[in-house]
Chain A
Amino acid sequence: MNPAVAPEPTRSLVELKIPARAEWVAVARLAVAAVASRLHFSVDEIEDIKLAIAEACTNCIAHASEDDRIEITSEVFSDEVRVSVRDRSVGHKLGSVEKDGGFAEGKRTEELGVFLIRALMDEVTYSVDAREGTELVMIKHVMG
């Protein structure tokens, strides 16, 4: 927890677009971590958010061409951060990986990222639209 940070009085919106390439994922995760640090998350929770956002971007890259972009939108409320990661591709496989039960050795490693997102964030939803692409929305609540 960072006591020096004043509570976010109203909704704040931060948008970032990065090329859908591996070298830009670090920028996305660090930017969202900086946004999340506006709230009273613990260091561990900020790390959870960083990893979840990175996994979401990595998932986008797996389905994107090098010219594509990833849109990362962070909304900061007084008690939660809501992060949307969107790209223009269609067909991410997010629904089949469950949050509970651990990750079996025999599963494909690509599923590991989705498993981590579900385990580290409080709410995860995704939508696929033929025109809009794929959007993954992740929410982390401030505890205590």
Chain B
Amino acid sequence: MDIKVNVRESEGDAYVVDLTGEIDVYTSPKVKDAISELIDQEHYNLVINLEKVRYIDSTGLGVLIGGLKRVREHGGSVNLVCTNPQIKKIFDITGLVKIFGIFDDEQGAMKALV
């Protein structure tokens, strides 16, 4: 089990983090490192693309929540791209759908960034 992380610059100051694989207690530190590095470099508008993520647990959700809190302190935002019903269900039942913008495609997520 592994996670692949790809970071790329997009429109304006926004960055996209493409994730592929499974985000769990073992792999989530790698995701956290990528997001933290972007924020440390003062990039506060992020799109996290979960389209190729097959599985996420509470540690993965915790990483996303932590990233969101940090960018919000600087007036930024984190939007998610996700169409996987099982993963969307996790955001639904935890209520996290209310604090993240979750979009069906990258264009929509980019457009909605603050």
A residues whose Cβ falls under 8 Å from a Cβ of B: 22-23, 25-26, 44, 47, 50-51, 54-55, 57-58, 61, 102-105, 109-110, 112-113, 115-116, 119-120
Contact = CB atoms under 8 A, between A and B. Distances in A.
B86 to A, nearest CB: 5
Nearest to B65: A109
B25 A61 contact: yes
Nearest to A47: B86
Interface string B20-42: 00101110000000000000000
Interface stretch (B11-19, B44-52, B88-96, B105-113): B88-96
B24 A54 contact: yes
Contacts of A116: 57-58, 90, 93-94
Nearest to B89: A44
Contacts of B89: 44
Contacts, number: 67
B96 A103 contact: yes
A109 B63 CA distance: 9
A55 B28 CA distance: 13
- Chain B contact-residue range equals 20 to 34
Main secondary structure of the interface of B (DSSP, over half): helix
B50 to A, nearest CB: 15
A56 B3 CA distance: 21
Given A26-B24, A51-B55, A58-B57, 10 more contacts: A26-B22, A47-B55, A58-B58, A102-B95, A103-B95, A109-B65, A110-B62, A116-B90, A116-B94, A119-B94
A103 B96 CA distance: 7
A113 B24 contact: no
A43 to B, nearest CB: 8
A9 to B, nearest CB: 30
Contacts of B114: none
Contacts of A50: 55
A114 to B, nearest CB: 8
A58 B25 contact: yes
A50 B1 CA distance: 14
